[in-house]
Each structure stands twice: as structure tokens, then as C-alpha cells.
Amino acid sequence: MIDTPVWHPFTQHGLGEPIPEIVRAEGAALYTTEGQRIIDGISSWWVNTHGHCHPRISAAIAQQAGQLDQMIFAGWTHGPAQDLATGLRAIMPPDLTRVFFSDSGSTAVEVALKMALGYWRSRKGGARHRIVVMEHSYHGDTIGAMSVGARGVFNQAYEPLLFDTTTVPFPAAGCEQATLDALEQACSDAAAFIVEPLILGAGGMLTYSPCILAEMRAICARHGVLFIADEVMTGWGRTGTLLACEQAKVSPDILCLSKGLTGGSVPLAVTMATEPVYQAHYSQDRADMFFHSSSYTANPLACAAANANLAIWAEEPVMQRIATLAQKQQAFVVSLQDVPNVENARRCGTIAAFDISVPSGQGGYMAGLAPALLAYYRSCGLLLRPLGNTVYAMPPYCIDADDLAALHEGMVQSVSAIG
Ligand SMILES: *Cc1c(COP(=O)(O)O)cnc(C)c1O
């Protein structure tokens, strides 16, 4: 039965699960063709920050669309990209002096890895190429990004193409020293360490402390190993601060940003780098240049949307909304304490998560209860997408008290409804 040629991502079409159609979005809500209002509990897969169709972002895109839509970015430039690079330099850690554009989180990571190898190629001590990664991490779905992410059912088929990395254990509470020791050891011949700061998203909303992030950064610095912060999910306020790195008072050598960069409206990514990383590619020899581009690099419409996002951050009480949301998420997490079958209730900034207890060996991404949970949430008008048996809420910062309460209620009810 073929009713649509559309092949959806991370979807098993063979199960015949319904795929509702959305026609419109506003604030924290999506509306189906039938007119059902859906609360967007996961910011449309972690991208949306200020709510859907924010008037300033939509207007900026429309205005730019009438002026300059798209142009080559090799050897040519345009105002929206210049403004955005200048704007990012002003609010990101001061050591990150250079801004390289691409169009998704995965490509921002690929660019970061290529920059790191380019940096080491130019070093007198000799080239290095080994990348150190953290257990359970996720950095995207392209071959390089998968290579530095956790291996599992979602990349088993591609395993022969993935390159070798060194994995340090996740710094679970009480076991942090093992992570630091492993990193110390791995740094002896590594080019770079790539990490999701404070919270591992796709790995199951696993949190660790800012102190550990700071210690990992210090180890890399001591060994001259490049520290790559993948803030594709954690950036733009999600963890309570503009960058998660801020909470550990660390500045990476390379920073990946995407998702909330345009407020979650259109695709865009940047990889920011320190002067030494840039200078490693700077010479009078064309062979030393950074060999990377994609057709839509620094697309003007996307840059205009990102500039509007920066203006919203500068002029609207975004941090206040984040603080309010974080507080309510914390109250929710506390309220989960005595709920049967709820484990490991946790929060990082605006993100609240818990695990539904399952018999041992039946957890993980493919946990059997995921399809039932999805169906339950659809029936209550909630957009939630558990990671295996991990249920989490990561709404846009504009979500109001009623919608947030409905979201929390649905999450709690789902545990007994499905269990
Ligand atoms: C989503 C994500 C990516 C990949 O971004 P895409 O835009 O989906 O390619 C990379 N790293 C992290 C931490 C992410 O959460």
C-alpha cells in the first residue's frame, strides 16, 4: 500500500503507525489538518526556542527573501553573514574569533573534525588524527558524525565505514574519576576530544556536573588536545545559560552550534574556532586552505533569521523566560519523587527527564514501550518523543503555565497508562 512517496526519518513505515499532518504552528503549539491543537513538548526535535513563527524571525526571512535569496559564499560575501559573524563573536566566548558557516548540526560537527585534523597537519610535532569521544554521545547522522557517536542499532549497518575512535566512559555520579583517568590516558596521541557539555541528548538526556566538564577541558588543555564542544542541542539557553560551557567557565577550541541558532526556524549551523585553529589554515599556499563548503553555506535567508534570533536574545527577556521554565521543570522533577515506576527524575536547565522502570535488559532506545507511549501522547495532543524508556520535556521557552501543566500531566499519566 503506497499512499505517499514520502520516506520519513527515523520512522518504520512497515508498522503502519499514523503520521499526522500539521498545517500551522504558533508559539508552543502545532495544529493538524483536523484542527487539533498539539503542544510541542520537545521544541520540534530540540530546535525551537522562542516559539513557532516568532513574528520577528518570520518577518526577517520575508524581508530578506525579497532582497537576496542565495549566493555563492566562496570568494563572495553578504551583509547578513557579516552581521551574524560579528554578532556571534560579541556574545560567544572571546577566544572563538572565527565563524565558519554550514547548514546542520551534523555538518557543523564534520567541519569541526576536519578543522581539528587541519590544525594537527600543520603542527611541527607531527599530524594527529585520533578523536576521543564520550560513551553514549550523539553528534549527528552523517558518516563522520556517526563515527564519533555511540554505536548501536541505529548505525550497525554502516559500522564498516565508521572510523576508529577512543571512548571514555560517561561520568556517571560517583564514577567521574574513571572518565578523567581515561581521558588523561587517551590524550597522549589524540587530535581532539568532542563532547556534549552537561547533558547528552540522544543518548538519553544523561547529565553530568559542570565540575567534570571543567576538569575534562583542563586535561585537554594540558595535553594540547583540541576541545570540541558540540552545543548543537545545549546551546541557546537550553541548559539555563546561553552556552552550557558557561556553567563550567570553560571556553572550547572549537564550538558547534545549530538548532536554536535561527530560533529553530530554518536550517543553519556554525562552527566557531580559536585563532590558532584558523591560523593553522592561513598561509600563502592554497594547499593549506580549509577544504570545505556546501552549496547553501551562509544562506542569506537563514543568516537573516539568525540575526533576528540574536536581536530577540538582546531585546526580549529570554533569560527570564528560561529561568521561569527551569523553575517549573524543577518543581515537576521534585513532584515525581514518589510516582511508581518513575526513576532518575532529573533536570538540566529547561530540560526535565525521567526513566520509566523496565525489567533489566529491556531498556535502551528500542525499548518496547516507545510505540505505545507515542500513541498515548498523540491521543492527548502532546508532541513528545521518548528516547526508549526515557521520557523528557524540552519545550520552547514561551510555553505558558497551562500548556506546561498539561504536558507534565500527560507525562505522568503515560507511566501508568502504558506500564
Ligand atoms: C541534533 C544534534 C546534532 C545533529 O544536528 P542535525 O542538525 O540534526 O544534523 C549534533 N549534535 C548534537 C548534540 C545534536 O543534538
Pocket of ligand 1 (CB under 6 A): 104-106, 109, 138-140, 196, 201, 230, 232-233, 258
| Inter-CA distances, 411 with 365, 406, 417, Å | 18, 9, 10
- What values do phi and psi take at 291, rounded to 5? -85, 80
Q: Which of 231, 233, 238, 351 most suits a substitution to test ligand 1, by most atoms within 8 Å of the C-beta?
A: 233
Q: CA–CA separation, 341 vs 143, rounded Å? A: 37
Centre of ligand 1 from the C-alpha of residue 259, in Å = 7
- Residue tagged 529491556 (cell numbers): 362
Task: State which ligand 1 atom lies nearest to the alpha carbon of 234.
Answer: 13
Between 282 and 16, where is the model more confident? Answer: 282
Q: Where in the chain is the domain with CATH 3.40.640.10?
A: 57-315
Cell numbers at 354, concatenated: 525521567
Centre of ligand 1 from the C-alpha of residue 38, in Å = 24
Fold classified for 57-315: Aspartate Aminotransferase; domain 2 (3.40.640)
Task: State which ligand 1 atom lies nearest to the alpha carbon of 259.
Answer: 7
Task: State which ligand 1 atom lies nearest to the alpha carbon of 106.
Answer: 9
Using one digit for the tens of pLDDT, what is the confidence trace for 51-66? 999 999 999 999 999 9
The pTM of the full predicted model, rounded to 2 decimals, is: 0.97
CA nearest to 411, candidates 401, 389, 17:
389
Q: Give the pLDDT confidence score for residue 125 in this predicted structure.
A: 82
Centre of ligand 1 from the C-alpha of residue 137, in Å = 11
Q: Name the strands in the sheet holding 226-230, side by side, starting at the edge strand that comes first in the sequence.
A: 96-102, 269-274, 254-257, 226-230, 190-195, 130-134, 166-168
Cell numbers at 111, concatenated: 567541519
Using one digit for the tens of pLDDT, what is the confidence trace for 317-340? 999 999 999 999 999 999 999 999
Question: Collapsing DSSP states into helix, strand and coil, what is residue 207?
Answer: strand
Q: What sign has the CA pseudo-torsion 147, 151, 154, 158?
A: positive
Do 170 and 136 contact (CB within 8 A), yes or no?
yes
Using one digit for the tens of pLDDT, what is the confidence trace for 176-200? 999 999 999 999 999 999 999 999 9
Residue whose Cα lies nearest atom 15 of ligand 1: it is 233
Q: Where in the chain is the domain with CATH 3.90.1150.10?
A: 13-53+317-418
Q: Which of 44, 138, 228, 265 most suits a substitution to test ligand 1, by most atoms within 8 Å of the C-beta?
A: 138
What is the per-residue DSSP string for 54-96? -HHHHHHHHHHHTT------SS---HHHHHHHHHHHHHS-TTE
Task: State which ligand 1 atom lies nearest to the alpha carbon of 196.
Answer: 13
pLDDT band at 363 (very low <50, low <70, confident <90, very high): low
Weakest-pLDDT range from 129-133, 152-156, 295-299: 152-156
CATH number of 13-53+317-418: 3.90.1150.10
- Mean pLDDT, the chain, rounded, equals 96
Task: State which ligand 1 atom lies nearest to the alpha carbon of 105.
Answer: 5
* Alpha-carbon Rg for the chain in angstroms: 21
Question: Collapsing DSSP states into helix, strand and coil, what is residue 30?
Answer: strand
Q: What sign has the CA pseudo-torsion 55, 56, 57, 60?
A: positive
Centre of ligand 1 from the C-alpha of residue 66, in Å = 30
